[in-house]
A and B are shown apart, each in its own frame.
Chain A
């Protein structure tokens, strides 16, 4: 399967703590993205990191990408109860410009932040 794998499947932390989620994939990718999904709703794009980038920041989010290990991590710092959601990594397969951008998703990490 070309689907990504995410670890852990579920994460429970206290407000103020940091949350780290990991994603692994098996093929060459063009870029990797992280999405958040609140229960029963659509997905919200959080951040995109390209295959030639190693780290990217957006507010309290930090994403790293290690193409040699085919893995990425999402760090949420100083978590809040409102961060409670499912988080998915998704990637565009292919290293060239011919891909039309189809995303392949991981299975997700359920994050619960307790107040």
Chain B
């Protein structure tokens, strides 16, 4: 593994369209996180998986957002009926189980979404 991969790097979509992003974590990491970051702000937590189980979803996340992690490997984040307020950088990160975390998260380069 060379790190966490996210695809695509950039996505421009029209308001109302659905978009899906993919994240491939480091293979031995069982924890996967999605964050959203707007300009000038720190990342905000969206959701978290341990293996294939989605254990927490932020109250900031509307019902238009859904995330999956089938088989505990890659994850997808889908946004339905996109709105201009969804424009942001979507970051994926992975880590080992908490009690063995020595070096923090490994982040991907992010997917920048622009809704026009």
Contact = CB atoms under 8 A, between A and B. Distances in A.
In order of increasing CB-CB distance, the 5 nearest A-B pairs are A105-B42, A45-B104, A101-B98, A42-B107, A42-B109
B107 A44 contact: yes
Contacts of B31: 100-101
Contacts of B21: none
Interface of A: 3-4, 33, 35, 40-45, 48, 88, 90, 92, 97, 99-108
Interface residues of B, number: 32
Given A35-B104, A102-B33, A43 B55 contact: no
Interface in B62-107: 89, 91, 93, 95, 98-99, 101-107
B16 interface: no
Interface in B36-62: 40-45, 48, 50, 55-56
Of B91, B105, B108, chain A has the most CB atoms within 10 Å of the CB of: B105
A43 B42 CA distance: 10
